[in-house]
Every structure is written in C-alpha cells, then in structure tokens.
Chain A
C-alpha cells in the first residue's frame, strides 16, 4: 500500500448542497453578486465560472439556434459556452474574476459575433 490520500479537513464544504462540485478548502472572503436577478455569495477575486459552478449554477446561457442550455466546457477561454452578460457586456465567465456587485444575466440566444 502506498500513502493513503490525506484529505483536507474541510473537503465537504460547499457553497451549495446541490452543487455537483466541492471545494478542497472553504473559500475565504465572500461577496454578493447578482445572477439572473438572484443574489449569490461568491468568493472574492476567484474565477467567476468556477465560482458559479460551485454555487450550483448549471446553465450559463442558451444557444441561439435550439435554445439548449450550456455551461462551461473548456475553462480556458476557447469554447465560449460560458458566455454571460456582466453589467450588460457579453463576457466569458471563465476568463473573469468575481467582483462585488457584479450583475450577471444569462444571454438568451445572443452570441457575440
């Protein structure tokens, strides 16, 4: 037997009990943002797409053609499935950080071309 994995004591901490994601350790400072009208507490300065996923948000936008829901796929700025509108401007959530007071909405059908 090799060394047993040493779990972080907080590994079951999560922003949302329904989230398919868990934090290794609890995030430090939380700030309030708005997502589709609802208030969310997200970790200040952390990656926006990751923080939304951990908060249990599973659909970021809907496609223009069929209206199908989409969520982050690549997390590296290449696929554009994480596009959201931040204070009215279309942005890739995976390339943004959480800033207090952000007002985010799901772009319905709109893409960025």
Chain B
C-alpha cells in the first residue's frame, strides 16, 4: 500500500493486485471494515492495528488501480502478471513489478499438528480481525512476540487462552542480551512487548517456558496439548491449539522468477538477494516487505516507499537527486526499526524440535510425508529438496511446499552435513496456486483487454 501510494504520488501509473478482498495485508487485515463495524474489535486489536487506517486511507484517496480478490499465479519476465478473479483468468502488463507478498508463519511440525483444531496463531488473529471470532478453549504454543499479542487480544476480548506454552529457553534470552543495547534504539518495540507481558500477567494467564516434546493429542480433532516443562510432563485439555514460532518470507513468486536467494542464519530462512532499494538481479523487479526478509510492518512500509522512489526514478518521474533526498530519512528510519530484530531473533528462536522433527512426524501436510521419509531419501543419496520431492511427493501438493519447504531443506541439510545454501530449496514453477482448466478457458476471452501499466 505504501509503495503503491508513493509511486502514484511520483506520477507513475500503478496497479495493485491483492488476493484479499479489502486493503490491509496481514497486519491491517480488514481494518477498513473493522473501523466502521465495531469499535470494540478495534480496541481489542490495539493501536498498531489502527495505524493501518492511515495507509488504507491514502490508498483509497490515490489514483492507484486497486484490483482486489485476485490471486496472481504467474509473473512472466517482461512483465506479464496472470491472475484469477472470481474463477476467471486475466492478465496485466507492466514495465516494472514490485513483489510484496509478505510472510507466512513458519511451519511448526510437531506430532498431531495436522489435526482439525490445530491452527496457526496468525489464523486465530485472522478469525478475530476478519470475523470477530475467538476460540473458547485454546492453548498458544511456540515462541515469539505474535504469541503475546494474540494472547493479549484474547484477554481483551474476554476469552483468554488457557495457557501459553513457550519453547524459548532461558539460554536464548541470555544470548539475546548481548543484542539488547542495539535493540534499545528500537525501544518502542521493546516497551510494547513488556506492556503485553504485563497485561498477560495481570490477567493471570498461565505461562510455561522452555517447553519441549510438544505433541497434540486427539483422534479426529485436537483434544489436548502435551509437553514437558520444568522437568515435568504436562497435559492441557483444549479444543484449539495455536502454533507459532515466527514468520518466514513468502517467496513463491520471487522464486518462480528465478530471483537468487541466500540462507540467512539469524532468521533461519532463505531471503532474496537485494540491493538497498529492494532491487533483485532481474531488471525492473523489486521486492519489499516481509517477503524480502522479516522486518515487521513498519520496515515493510518504509521498504515499500524506498522501492517506489527507485522505481519512479527509473521510470523518469523523479531525478536521482529528488529520489535521494526523499529516501534519506527513510533509510534512517529503517535502520532504527531494524535495530530490535537481532534481539528478537535471538530471544525467540524457532522451536528446535520442530526444525528437526521426530521420524513419525508429518512435515508435508498436503501429501502426508513424514520427516523419517525425507531422512530415508537422504540415505538413498538425495542431496536436495527437488530429488526428495520426486522420491516422496513432498511439496507436490496444492500448497506447493509453502509449509514443508524449509523443513525439507533443514532435514536434508542435517542428514547430509551440507549447508542450507548448498542443499537448496524447491524449484518453484507457475502456477503459484492451482488453476482449473475452466479458469484458463476464460483467459482467451479476456485476451483483448490488456491494460499497460508502468
């Protein structure tokens, strides 16, 4: 949204394609509707969420051609974006493209995580933002600030979670402490985190730290979360288990275009290789936001504006002097916002059991492939995910490896002793989401209308 508005203000002709029906992305999902529908929901979601209205307001007031409810399933170099809207395929041409596909929650494969009743913490938040729905008896499990935020929102809504089962350890916090001085530059973020923890304490929400051996019990649906903490076994009966241990870039579109990616150890994920403006190794193709590496909502907004300034300069709408003078405060703001990341990454690392799941744990949800089956392919000589895919079908289901890709890389890399960079990632090909023949058939009919964007 920030990028589209900045580019529009610079005089570019801009189309913004988004799968969601209303503006907002993940963090500000449905903010335009929540504001008018329910003051109560706004209070529960908090001030950071309300900030989204300034972005959506600017977008609505701009000339940006906002095409909503469309899945972009192919981006061809040159560029042509193919998308489906209401079961009909269409396409749009553009000289320059900015990919801002955001993040996905990191898959947290633990025994039982495929049972109905197990969702991501972000999914619970989407239920609240989009529909005003909350789980009655839920346990939040994993690590990271989003868990505290979701828990606090549940408390404010009057339906607190039964417990927070946190996987980060005291050791992680000690490690993180060396990043604390730098993080103080982003003190607002730290203060917010402490505020959330205080809110949970006041509400008397139970918290377990350093939990291990997480497993969801149940036959046809989740019935309890079992784990060890403080040298004891625990079992919490519940209807809903909300898993979360961080977010990772949603890189499907960038991957399909062949943008180079590199393993980033601190984020335990692959990130695209970009210049300071968000430019990729393909001319005219930029990436901004969490899809470029996890930085959070403010960083995403700033990076979007920076990429837009560079795009506008390339398109001849801004001189490089004007670009640089507008960019200068943004670069400064970005480094201030990023200051807290090393602390957060170290304090709330991914749950180690879920990075190296037990043999019987399913890692590919679509094709029901276990960690053991992937390890088996390594003993048969598989070195990378693409070979493992052809042996096991892992990553061949409709989600196209969105939730198993990093697990497969991690398991193979552990088994072969090769680095994640050498092990690599699935080769992603369009369509980025499954398309039906009926969708394709409609494309021929729309071939005639082909708006040219910049």
Contact A78 B403 (CB under 8 A): yes
Cβ contact within 8 Å between B120 and A74: yes
B26 contacts partner chain A, Cβ-Cβ < 8 Å:
yes
CB <8 Å contact, A22 and B136: yes
Report the nearest B residue to A65, measured CB to CB: B368
In whole angstroms, what is the CA distance A63 to B41 when docked? 35
Q: Does A5 contact B (CB under 8 A)?
A: yes
Check: A33 CB closer than 8 A to any chain B CB. no
Contact across chains for A51 and B131 when beta carbons are under 8 A apart: yes
A58 touches which of B116, B159, B366, B398 (Cβ 8 Å): B116
B199 touches A113 (CB 8 A): no
Residues of A within 8 A of B120 (CB): 73-75
Give the complex CA separation of A23 and B127 in angstroms.
10
In the bound complex, do residue B133 and residue A81 qualify as a contact, i.e. CB atoms below 8 Å apart? no
Residues of B377-405 at the interface with A, using a CB-CB cut-off of 8 Å, are 396-399, 402-403
Chain B residue total in the interface (Cβ 8 A): 60
Contacts of B38 in A (CB 8 A): 24-25
Please report which residues of chain A, range 21-61, place their CB below 8 angstroms from some CB of chain B when the two chains form the complex.
21-25, 46-47, 50-51, 53-54, 58-60
| CA–CA, A40 and B104, complex, Å | 32
Report if A47-B130 is in contact (Cβ < 8 Å); known contacts: A1-B202, A11-B159, A20-B117.
yes
- The docked-state distance in angstroms from the alpha carbon of A8 to that of B17 is 36
Per-position contact with A for B36-66: 1 when CB-CB < 8 Å, else 0? 0010110110000000000000000000000
A-B contact pairs, 29 of them (CB 8 A): A2-B202, A5-B157, A20-B117, A20-B239, A23-B131, A23-B132, A23-B133, A24-B38, A25-B40, A46-B131, A47-B131, A53-B127, A58-B221, A59-B221, A65-B368, A73-B119, A73-B120, A73-B123, A74-B105, A74-B122, A75-B123, A77-B433, A78-B104, A78-B250, A80-B398, A83-B398, A111-B397, A111-B398, A113-B398
Q: A74 CA to B220 CA in the complex, in Å? A: 19
**Residues of A with Cβ closer than 8 Å to B?**
1-2, 5-8, 11, 19-25, 46-47, 50-51, 53-54, 58-60, 63, 65-66, 68-81, 83, 89-90, 94-95, 97, 111-113
Does B130 contact A21, Cβ atoms closer than 8 Å? no
Most B-side CB within 10 Å, residue of A2, A19, A74, A97 = A74
Looking at chain A's contact residues, the main secondary structure is loop
Q: Which residues of B contact A (CB under 8 A)?
A: 19, 21, 26, 38, 40-41, 43-44, 71, 87, 104-105, 114-120, 122-123, 126-128, 130-137, 155-159, 198-199, 202-203, 220-221, 239-240, 250, 365-368, 396-399, 402-403, 433-434, 436, 438
Is A75's CB under 8 angstroms from B239's CB? no
Given A47-B131, A69-B221, A79-B403: A8 in contact with B434 (beta carbons within 8 A): no
Partner among B21, B122, B365 whose Cβ is within 8 Å of the Cβ of A81: B365
Interchain residue pairs A-B with the least CB separation, the first 6 = A71-B116, A20-B239, A7-B158, A75-B123, A50-B131, A24-B132
Chain A residue numbers with a CB within 8 Å of B199 are 2
**Contact between chains at B155 and A80 (CB < 8 Å):** no
Selected from A20, A63, A90, the residue in CB contact (under 8 A) with B137 is A20
Q: Are A50 and B116 in contact (CB under 8 A)?
A: no
Query: How far apart are B25's CB and chain A's nearest CB, in angstroms?
Result: 10
Q: How far is the CB of A1 from chain B (nearest CB, A)?
A: 6
